[in-house]
Amino acid sequence: MKYRRLTKGEFEELHEEFIMFLSANTITGDDWKKIVSEDIETADKLMDMFSDIAFEKVLSSAKYVERVSEREVMSARFDDAEAEMIILRSTGESVIPANMPALEMKKALESKAFELIKGSKKYRLEREQEMFQLLMQNAIISDGTLFKQLKSLL
């Protein structure tokens, strides 16, 4: 498996897509019920295949991820050949306020309460797998607004 199996809730959200996947594999609703009750290994393989397809579809169209905690804000942009990451980190006990405006961030950087770290790296794995690793560390897919805001501070 390339990613992870979807949760029950995720499968429920993608119920229609899963039916289409089964149909594309010439599996009817009755066939699926029979597979689930009589051949759990095949059912598991089909659910894993669908999970990978679902993640691949979402990740291939995503470009930005971010993770925000009390003392660190991370945002990354995933291009074709490499990822660029920018981190705003508290240098002491200061908490980074949620939705902190760029002007306040700039003042905090000047006062040395926060530091800004920038880096980029070529992919060791496939682009989507690199992105998935960050998602497994509590990052979320984003629209890039935070990345652009942090980049403006460099």
11-61 tens-digit pLDDT = 999 999 999 999 999 999 999 999 999 999 999 999 999 999 999 999 999
pLDDT of residue 86: 97
Task: Supply the pTM of this predicted model.
Answer: 0.85
Element (H, E) at 107: helix 102-110
* Structure token pair of residue 140: 């979320």
Q: Is 115 helix (H, G, I), strand (E, B) or coil?
A: strand
Q: Crossing angle, helix 15-24 and helix 29-38, to 10 degrees?
A: 90
- Residue closest to 66 by CA, chosen among 91, 114, 99, 115: 99
